[in-house]
């Protein structure tokens, strides 16, 4: 799909016959759709993949918030709600294998807030 990296899975139209699967070339999507819909989903996916690869629980929370920030909807509307959502999800008995791989850390933006607080008189 034009505008989407080769390592991102995307559903595209195809023809299937006895000779195999033949992809149908599609035109690029309008820039507005790419910026408002496609890229936010890809960025959220990359964020969550990084969380999985590093075991960073906070990245799961931030990835959830990131997607919701673009679409202004979804299961969470605040950091506290997103954290509770992830905590609840990973506390389920069927998620224990996944939960054991994630560790807590301060949010990536916490250092910036701490610096700003120290600068105030």
Domain membership flag for residue 1 = no
Domain membership flag for residue 99 = yes
Structural domain span for residue 84: 30-119
Number of domains in the chain: 1
- What pLDDT sits at residue 22? 95
CB 80 within 8 A of CB 43: no
pTM: 0.61
Domain membership flag for residue 47 = yes
**Secondary element (H or E) of residue 53:** helix 39-54
Domain membership flag for residue 16 = no
- What pLDDT sits at residue 71? 60
Burial bucket for residue 121 (CB in 10 Å: 0-12, 13-18, 19+): exposed
Closest by CA position to 65, among listed 74, 53, 52, 56: 74
Q: Read off φ and ψ for residue 16, nearest 5 degrees.
A: -120, 125
Task: Render each residue's pLDDT in the chain as its tens digit; 121 residues.
Answer: 788 888 888 888 999 999 999 999 888 999 999 988 888 888 888 888 888 888 888 888 887 777 666 665 565 677 888 888 888 988 998 888 888 888 776 666 666 666 777 777 6
Domain membership flag for residue 84 = yes
């Amino acid at each position: 799909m034009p505008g989407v990296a080769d390592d991102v899975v995307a559903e595209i139209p195809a023809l299937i016959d006895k000779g195999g699967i033949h992809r149908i070339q599609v035109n690029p999507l309008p820039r507005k759709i790419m910026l408002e819909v496609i890229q936010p989903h890809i960025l959220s996916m990359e964020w969550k993949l990084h969380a999985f690869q590093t075991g960073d629980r906070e990245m799961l929370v931030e990835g959830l918030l990131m997607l919701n920030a673009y679409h202004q909807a979804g299961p969470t509307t605040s950091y506290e709600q997103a954290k509770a959502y992830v905590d609840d999800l990973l506390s389920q008995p069927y998620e224990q294998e996944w939960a054991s791989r994630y560790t807590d850390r301060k949010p990536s933006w916490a250092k910036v807030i701490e610096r700003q607080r120290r600068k105030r008189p």
